[in-house]
Structure 1
């Protein structure tokens, strides 16, 4: 490497320095793909605005899914790699600008996801008691940015709840609302969330889909879990499952739809049972208006039919469903980091096989992976292939000389500390991890999630002081 700081190929002594923005599954899979290969020497800074890693694995997968949340044990192995440095509690755009970050590294991979909710765009959507699934999920998962007061105020006195959407997140929310306090107690959910859910007198939860059961996007595994709740009965209108021959043929060609229909048809004979929560799965119902003055009191829905292209079309038949709480779960969208282009329609960063496009051309040294690359689709595992594609593009650029090492630079963590930021490194995260396990042990659990940023940082400072 030349001494004047001019660009040169990566070498063992001067590896390619890559910042991955976002320490969720996509970011960790990208770091793993970078460090598993041996063609290009690399060093990776895994930067996240939260003091904790794992993204939606920690703050999106429902706490009553411990087996699914256990994937963080797998992700943790990537954090332990000597070429990977976790740098948490650092917000790009606030603690350091995008331009400044790029001065510290040779390449950046943006993997910060799609955290904003989509709106229904109907009258009454902004009434108190109308919430986004993103708000509810963040609250019960213990996200530091969750609006605890808003969610808990919405839960007070709720007897009937409507969840709009038929994806896995909608089922998560419906299932959590229908669970008893005793079922939630063993989870790592923050205690205040368990207490609020246990106190809510929920008698009925309706999960509402605009189209038919064959078009629902939830997985069969998630669906089956509804039938295992301790004090809830799943109710399905048999008429919703009576498909015409063409729809039945299309459903037969979709394995997930076939399995889902089989499960739903098992529940069609269920009837309400005294003392048990009614968990209704209702299809062909499009919300057109939320009713209420001071807060939500109901949802006006229009009966729909599904045309040959799979679209929901209105039939002109309307009905009002009582609802003290409405949770919309109709998708996520990405937002822009200051200085990064985002397509407003798709909520993704324009890219070509992971290379960020600015004005239609690849931007040297900028890459993208995960939901902010492809949109909010797929399960956790889909991010692995996606990250590998992006890393392959980055390595190809490093190999052909279009991506090179730009000489000695100030260390990112040292720069952040000098300006008063408090970056959380891997040992600091381990202190948080230990504090959560200790808190959980006080109630006989494996862990209780610390939900306040100050509590997370207090665990770090206490460990540092010892």
Structure 2
């Protein structure tokens, strides 16, 4: 009887788990069967949902329930706290598996090339999100001395950063934030947040629901300048062709015409302001310089030569995520992705890298919402299965499932399992129960490993 198709997936975030789901739903799952191992460098699964989504977004974190159903399947195993490139390498994986799918996502901040980014008080949004989400590999404290803060970018990450900075610590206490984050936010001095986008309302990348949620806090007054509500032919066409764009524009229009209220924390949404320099003094941020832009008829903008200096004490750059380069794989330095064709990794000569695939943000860059990675995974898996059907996959030397566990044991690598996640999950819920909270996130890696029974 033929053995099951053995597939390794590196990265146990949504993209990787969606790929596992696509394999489980394929015809191959019935005959000859599939055996899937997910490798994750964090002790816990779920990737950006656990360490990138703001803690006051339980609706988005609800996706975890669907991902749970995939990881509960007997054909799937989780190996957490295992770092690709350190604990195991591509040649190791090829010895155990017919195919390898990389779904390592993007957790670093994309570079913003303007003067002053190196100043004290200039921060990457991804770094800040890692702190308030309790990532085990970042510092436990965050400097929150600035009373006036600039956030660069008009996507959902910028909204998350702005909302966390503008809310009070007590507003966020019912969420899963760990004690160190609560104490840090209690000391936060920010009372004025300025969000800057270089284009107009029709070009903002906010989700309508996330934008409206800004206005739900009793402590945040959202303010939009009526002069920033402007559209050209390209913008109007974009509104007509995209319901979400139109909903965002309408929300911003309504905020622009209302009277300013008396909520204590002011959050300004600025459009047509392109950041040109972060201003510094004695190595610290003292302001932000922007150039006023105007629409050019196509929905794009051009500079006007009119500059404004904004009095801010800190700048958060929410201009996009960037993936880490993966050892032994081709790399496109400009896009920060692995070159591919339909999910098949491409070598420099244009030929497919045998038995090696990518999906999610490491494949197409950090664009789209979490759910968009599902279609990505389906395409990648379809091509993997086509290669399997046409005998284009390499044959592993040691395909037995126990060979992987023996390999990790020989190298004394402490790994967590799916059963271990249930233990960690229970431990975090137990910490939250006395406070009436759903959970309190465990932060330290060693504590996570112990709670997981590693």
TM-score of the superposed pair, with normalisation by structure 1: 0.92
Choose from 131, 134, 140 the match for 1:139. 131
1:109 corresponds to 2:101? yes
**2:169: which partner in 1?**
181
**1:72: which partner in 2?**
64
CA distance in 1 between partners of 2:127 and 2:20 (Å): 29
246 and 135 in structure 1: CA distance in 2 versus 1, 3 angstrom threshold: closer
Conservation of the 8 A alpha-carbon contact between 1:210 and 1:284 = yes
**1:302: which partner in 2?**
291
The offset of 1:48, in angstroms, is: 0.5
1:189-204 → structure 2 map (5 Å cutoff): 189-204=177-192
1:26-175 → structure 2 map (5 Å cutoff): 26-39=15-28, 40-149=32-141, 152-153=142-143, 155=144, 157-175=145-163
**2:408: which partner in 1?**
416
**1:6: which partner in 2?**
none
**1:390: which partner in 2?**
380
What SS does the aligned partner of 2:345 have?
strand
114 and 272 in structure 1: CA distance in 2 versus 1, 3 angstrom threshold: same
CA distance in 1 between partners of 2:233 and 2:380 (Å): 43
Structure 1 vs Structure 2 CA RMSD: 1.6
1:222 corresponds to 2:233? no
246 and 112 in structure 1: CA distance in 2 versus 1, 3 angstrom threshold: closer
196 and 368 in structure 1: CA distance in 2 versus 1, 3 angstrom threshold: same
CA distance in 2 between partners of 1:81 and 1:245 (Å): 51
**1:365: which partner in 2?**
355
Conservation of the 8 A alpha-carbon contact between 1:15 and 1:405 = no
38 and 244 in structure 1: CA distance in 2 versus 1, 3 angstrom threshold: closer
244 and 363 in structure 1: CA distance in 2 versus 1, 3 angstrom threshold: closer
The offset of 1:98, in angstroms, is: 1.7
1:430 corresponds to 2:422? yes
**2:8: which partner in 1?**
19
Choose from 223, 241, 251 the match for 1:263. 251
CA distance in 2 between partners of 1:137 and 1:58 (Å): 10
The offset of 1:335, in angstroms, is: 2.4
Q: Structure 2: any 5+ residue segments left out of the alignment? A: none
Conservation of the 8 A alpha-carbon contact between 1:335 and 1:342 = no
Q: Structure 1: any 5+ residue segments left out of the alignment? A: 2-10
The offset of 1:309, in angstroms, is: 3.7
1:343 corresponds to 2:309? no
CA distance in 2 between partners of 1:249 and 1:356 (Å): 37
Q: How many residues align?
A: 447
Q: Deviations over 1:382-402 (max 9, x none)?
A: 111110111111111111111
The offset of 1:187, in angstroms, is: 0.3
Conservation of the 8 A alpha-carbon contact between 1:108 and 1:367 = yes
